[in-house]
Structure 1
Amino acid sequence: MAKSKVLIVGGTGYIGRRLVWASLDQGHPTYVLPETGLDIEKLQTLLSFKRRGAHLIEGSFSDPRSLVEEVRQVDVIICAMSGVYFRSHNFLMQLKLIEAVKEAGNVKRFLPSEFGTNPARMGHAIEPGRVTFDEKMKVRKAIEEAKIPFTYISTSCFASYFVGSLSRLSSLTPPKDTVYLYGDGNIKAVFLDEDDIATYTIKTIDDPRTLNKTVYLRPPENILSQRQLVGMWEKLSGRTLEKRSISAEDFLASVKGMDYAQQVGMGHFYYVFYEGCLTNFEIGEDGEEASQLYPEVQYTRMDEYQKIYA
């Protein structure tokens, strides 16, 4: 069966560029919507895609007609646009793309920009952290009202941000002496190498089992608590760390003095490490788990991942 033609929006971003490489690696004709401005690094990234065989298209969010024409060239669209706390309401820019998809009428799968906690499970979230959940739900509502076939990707803590640092907020590398635990440090989260996130995502796009479902990226060996991450690092490094606890109340109090963007990000952090929002539920009939669907993917275990920091 022929591989679907894939358009990746936000392809020069942190997850987006990995999606482009994964799409090319899995043999899909791959299209990228370039929005570089005068950013030389983004331009160099796009040119590296082109050398690998990706197609750089000419559509633009500022020109709806051009978007429609470009959408008509592809079968699948994956968005990897950054959210409101990084840029101004980028999630809602997808509404323009949804309008183009409706008019084009040919897209067989749409994957909106999510790659985090399932927003449908976060109706209880407090401001300002809930703003991105609300925006993602507006995008979902538009997709479903337009009867566009979809797959929603609910992923995990990005390993490069959370594993080397032992989930500390002040660094991206392991501590030397002291580590702060969120609560008792025993709440389970999910940690995944970003390249594995991209690999699993591309696997879903031609799979009838994932049509109109949420796919959770929860490989069992990477469901770990912060305390387990710390223990793995202590075993690897041969160094015992002093452990201090931060209560939920103290954590939330510390957030109040931050700027808006930081408060949004810290709100998400709270739900992961104090409530366990990535793991505190069973996947129902409207969802699938990626490592069960694709056991052939040799995902990176976090004890192996930590070795790059040793």
Structure 2
Amino acid sequence: MVKQIFTISTAGTDPWRNIALEEFLLLNVPENSVILYLWRNHRTVVIGRNQNAWNECRVERLEADGGKVARRLSGGGAVFHDLGNVNFTFIARKADYSVERQLSVLVEAVGRLGIEAVPSGRNDVTISGRKFSGNAFYQTGDNCYHHGTILIRTDKEDLARYLKAAPAKLAGKGVDSVRSRVVNLSELDETIDVERVREAMLAAFAEVYAVPCRELLPTDLHPDADAMIERRREFFASWDWRLGRSLPFDISAERRFPWGGIKLQFQVERGRVEDAGVETDALQADFFAALPEYFLGAHFTREEMLGALNRAIAAEAEGDAAVSTAPVAGLADDLRDFLTEEFF
């Protein structure tokens, strides 16, 4: 049961430090509490845990313009952040974690600004069918977070300049059409700015949970918080984490499903899988991050590859499935069909 809620905001706009702070809060969230963390990044493309940065954004162009690439812990797709966007993260232990309740805070906050919003699809919040907030989720052990964007005055030209749209997402749609389905809150009411949205989120958070609320400092959770966060910032800023290795996979295929797009890649030598890779914007980040290991050493035959996939699916079912979203109907069957139809 939630007995107390905490808020924390940061004035810093370095994405690597902000993500490090988010992780610190996740690992140190007290029992019977929920933390609302509000933060902003300066000109950043944030990619999902299992995505290829080079496929998702124009890295050289972004960095030449003074921007940064960041990789988060959660799954989902690439997003563009600038100072016209506010990011939120709800952090709680599993017993106190409720995506429905957390989303109600966002809907209530926008309602306080005179705008009616509704959750839509697998991870969006929309206004009259136009997306202003994309959400993603992560769990480690008993600790969970739900984070997302709130577009207020984001530069849509920069969004289109730095992000690459996957061909499967653009099928039958022009770039302008895709851009038109994203809306800034300021387009609906020009008086809405970052500070009004912050205030609305804090007020809605207190109203929805209706328990004592106070501001939080990282050092309230651990005396060495600053040093711990800085060490993790170095990790999140590293080339290996952000941009990763690029292997010359010799067999690959990709397909898009209602739960997300996926690209499977294999290096096969002497009939065995020597290496494997997965790129996906699916929300089930841990499952897809672990999936390549199950294929290693398997004979590249229909029977052994399906067996490896089924072991991965069984391991996920036996473990503590992600609490972030309802089970995705048909995901296992979709993967089996994809594997057999594309590779065998």
Structure-2-length-normalised TM-score: 0.26
Question: If each structure's strand is expressed as a fraction of its own residues, which one has the higher value?
Answer: 2
Structure-1-length-normalised TM-score: 0.28
